[in-house]
Amino acid sequence: MKSEYQAIAFVDDDEDIVNLFTELLRGNGYDISGFTNPFLLLDYIHHHNNHFRLVLIDYKMPQITGCELANKIADINSRIEMVLITAATDIVKNNLDLELIHKPLRMYQLLHIVAKYMN
């Protein structure tokens, strides 16, 4: 049985990005789930509140911003670590003081970020 808080979630409205990043991280031994719908992620976290240790969040999604999603996740479980990923340059500091990673994101950068939060 896997211990609590060992999995990663990646949420982005671009299915190709989700598939690429989840395959990369899974191939490096991480337990990861990809989501293209942020509300499905929220529902999952609501019902499996001790599953994710880290959530990687795209900042600009059509349904909700990454900051809004992060606030909702924190309301469910404040122990979940979160990182915002964005191509935007005009992001103001978010109220959760989350780390902000800029696109384009290289594979080695993604692995470094994940290792930092998962070790």
Residue ranges of domains in the chain, CATH in brackets: 7-118 (3.40.50.2300)
Predicted local distance difference test score (pLDDT) of residue 21: 95
**pLDDT tens-digit series, residues 60-95:** 999 999 999 999 999 999 999 999 998 877 666 567
Is residue 87 within 8 A of residue 17, CB to CB? The reply is: no
DSSP class of residue 9 equals E
Residue 83, classified by CB atoms within 10 Å of its CB into exposed (0-12), middle (13-18) or buried (19+), is buried
Handedness of CA 34, 38, 14, 86 (dihedral sign): negative
Task: Say if pTM beats, i.e. exceeds, 0.85.
Answer: yes
